[in-house]
Amino acid sequence: MTAPIEPTPRQSPAAAECVAIPSARQADRLTPARRFALIAATHSLIDIFPIFFTSLMLVFQGRLNLSAQQETIIYMLTPIFSGSTQPFFAWLSDKFDTRLCGPIGLALGATCIGSIGFAQNFEQLIALQILGVIGTGMYHPIGVALAGQSGMKFLRRGRTQAIGLFIAAGMLGQAVGPQIATRVSNAPALGMEHLAWLIIPAIIAAIALHNLTRRMPHRHDDHRARRASFDHAESRRRWFAIGVITAQNALRFTSNVGMFVMFNVWAKSKMLAHMPGAPEAKIDESGAAMAAKLASAMTIGMGVCVLTVGWLVPRGREHRPLWLFSLIGAAAMASAGYIGDWGVEQFGVGALGVLPMAIMIALTPIGFFATFPVATSLAQRLQPGHTSLVSALMMGVGWAISSLAPIVAMAFFGGVTTKEAPLLSDARVNHGFLGFAALIVIAGALTVFISPRLVQRAADEH
């Protein structure tokens, strides 16, 4: 029998204006749309922080006198510790039916990463980095599970659309993060230490998230009955499919990160060819500007993909997009280097010369990012009682493995380091684009091991 809804306590106007954080009782009365909006807002906030480490690398170099090896360690620590810990925290969330990893992760990540301006040496910096990205990793599995559960109640395309919007909210934070970090750090009246002021709104948001989600289900409403209906063979088939999707995501994430490596290598190779005799610092500066244009093009493509895929792929029809999107994105990635070479040859290294390649790069996320909401929503439906765990497998495992992208790029360059790769011929450089495109093709080909009938059976679990 449904419990009666308690009337809202009367407040004076002054008291009402002072309420900054919704109480648990107030949160219980929020509509699913408002719940989803607040969860997505916390995703935007937490994703501001991890990108501080790459955005402020040049500042760290001068401030802490970092060696090349120490820089590489900083680059690799975020995906390793953020990704590898996600399955553990997801297991905790599912095992004890708790939502605490969300607000605790948000508070821990913001507190540690917001304090990096106080680091006096490399050791202190990586200690804050490790704890901070563990916090951000703690947040994401339960965050995406809650987003999928709340969004499916009011969005037309259910979980796929909800997860796409949730990811887009995080991308907004990733886009804003570098601007905040560099502007605060470079401002004469401020400095990197003032990033700590961001901890305050993050703590407030963490408390609000706790009140919002403490009694909110993050798994399917009837997950126990659904799990009980699975015999041993059915359960094995479902976990096997999730394992295949996890492997696909790992390959796709590696290609995604590999594109950032390729942008730097390709751009510097063009600057070396078009600026002979120029100072090394000038070549690096110009190459970085060109690489940034390509990164922006890819980010735009990623945003468009996650915002539109929810409308394009109905429940139960995920099987074909998992391989078709892969082929489309891989084709764009494989041809990007060659089209980029043609553009620079015809129009120079300015904006017009980079435009043809930027267009192709904007299409590459169809292969590695448009599939993510599709894969994650499908995985959550396959195991309705383990939505946090499967979300962690979709994100964390792939994110951790993607830290190997620079090493994979070296293999595609024939053992040449990424620092020396810009000196290679255009054809050798383009081997990198071809290699990462091949990984996406392999990811798409793995779809053959996922039963279309199984996908259809899970379609009603949305």
Helix (H) or strand (E) holding 2: none
Q: How far apart are CA 229 and CA 383, in angstroms?
A: 12
pLDDT at position 26: 55
Provide the whole-model pTM.
0.74
Q: Are 141 and 34 in contact (CB under 8 A)?
A: no
pLDDT in tens, 308-320: 887 788 777 889 9
Residue 449: name the closest of 280, 161, 247, 259 by CA: 247
* CA neighbor of 398 nearest in space, from 450, 439, 447: 439
**So what's the pLDDT on residue 315?**
73
- pLDDT of 377: 84
Please list the ranges in the chain whose pLDDT falls under 70.
1-30, 58, 157, 215-231, 460-462
The confidence score (pLDDT) of residue 6 equals 42
Q: Which two tokens stand for residue 266?
A: 């390709």
Q: Supply the pLDDT for residue 227.
A: 54
- Rounded to the nearest angstrom, the gap between the alpha carbon of residue 444 and the centroid of all alpha carbons in its chain is 20
Domains, the chain, in order of start with CATH, read 28-218 (1.20.1250.20), 231-462 (1.20.1250.20)
The pLDDT of residue 13 is 40
H-helix or E-strand spanning residue 88 = helix 86-95
Which residue, 164, 239, 222, is CA-closest to 460?
222
Q: What Rg value do the Cα atoms of the chain yield, rounded?
A: 23
Q: What is the pLDDT of residue 142?
A: 87
* Residue 89 CA to its chain's centroid (Å): 17
Cα–Cα distance, 162 to 342 (Å, whole number): 40
Q: What integer pLDDT is reported at residue 200 of this predicted model?
A: 97
Residues 328-347: pLDDT tens digits?
999 999 999 999 999 999 99
Residue 29: predicted pLDDT: 60
Q: pLDDT tens, 69-103?
A: 887 788 888 888 988 888 888 888 877 777 889 99
Distances (CA, A) of 59 to 198, 251, 270, 324: 19, 32, 26, 42
Q: Write down the pLDDT at residue 25.
A: 55
